[in-house]
Amino acid sequence: LGRRWVLLFVGLLVFAAADVLYALQVNANTYVRGTPLAAAWAIGLALLALWVDGMERTHPAAVPETSPATGRAALMVPVVATAAGLG
């Protein structure tokens, strides 16, 4: 995990805590939009993104060199994902 594992741990912790608090407030019918709880998901996601970015910068040789996909082959995964989502 490297030295930046704390970002992963705290990001997941913030995200999970926000989910639990949200579920409890919705269950008690006390959830109000626009409170700091709504920002907790963004904060957790930002911490996870910082961890991913840091892992990419510390291990650039871990990604094998590949040729870029072009043409119809490059569009197949997004097309299938969109069709599955619509289905």
pLDDT by position in tens, the chain (length 87): 567 888 889 999 999 999 999 999 999 999 998 889 989 999 999 999 998 888 766 655 555 666 666 677 778 888 888 889 888
Asked if residue 73 belongs to a domain, the reply is no
Asked if residue 29 belongs to a domain, the reply is yes
The pTM score is: 0.60
The tally of domains found in the chain comes to 1
Asked if residue 75 belongs to a domain, the reply is no
Tell me how far apart the alpha carbons of residues 62 and 70 are, in angstroms, rounded to a whole number. Answer: 23
* Domain region containing 28: 1-62
Asked if residue 81 belongs to a domain, the reply is no
Asked if residue 70 belongs to a domain, the reply is no
Asked if residue 71 belongs to a domain, the reply is no
